[in-house]
């Protein structure tokens, strides 16, 4: 069974909607991702304890930042030398994101 680690992280910024979309397009049967909790108690999808490695314009611990602060960070427009990541500016993949493509799906 093909499992996409943090989405299709070789093709799109890890743990973003773009990475999850690409994993599905490539035929992954499952997607592995990481959850952390923001300072105001909202679960967010990010691997590291800090936003330093995976975002631009951000520095610090996920647990010390609010959901709104995290949502303003660029999680992937920098990903490719050939232009922005699929879908433009990297969007954080947040469990209660209004993007309904993932609700109820078994991937």
Q: Taking the alpha carbons of 92, 97, 99, 103 in that order, is the dihedral positive or negative?
A: positive
Distance in angstroms (rounded) separating the CA atoms of residues 29 and 104: 14
Among 47, 58, 84, 97, the one annotated catalytic: 47
Could you report the per-residue pLDDT of 50-103, keeping only the tens digit for each? 999 888 878 999 999 999 999 888 887 777 655 444 444 454 545 455 455 554
What is the pTM for the complete model shown? 0.70
**Residue 59 annotated to the active site:** no
CB-count exposure of residue 89 (10 Å: 0-12, 13-18, 19+):
middle
Among 5, 48, 67, 77, the one annotated catalytic: 5
**Residue 5 annotated to the active site:** yes
């Amino acid at each position: 069974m093909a499992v996409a680690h943090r989405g299709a992280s070789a093709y799109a910024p890890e743990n973003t909607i773009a990475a999850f979309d690409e994993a599905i397009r490539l035929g992954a049967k499952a997607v592995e991702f990481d959850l952390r909790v923001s300072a105001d108690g909202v679960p967010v999808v990010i691997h590291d304890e800090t936003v330093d490695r995976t975002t631009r314009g951000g520095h610090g611990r996920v647990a010390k930042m609010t959901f709104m602060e995290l949502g303003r960070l660029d999680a992937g427009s920098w990903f490719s030398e050939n232009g922005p990541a699929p879908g433009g500016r990297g969007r954080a993949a947040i469990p209660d994101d209004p993007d309904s493509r993932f609700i109820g799906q078994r991937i």
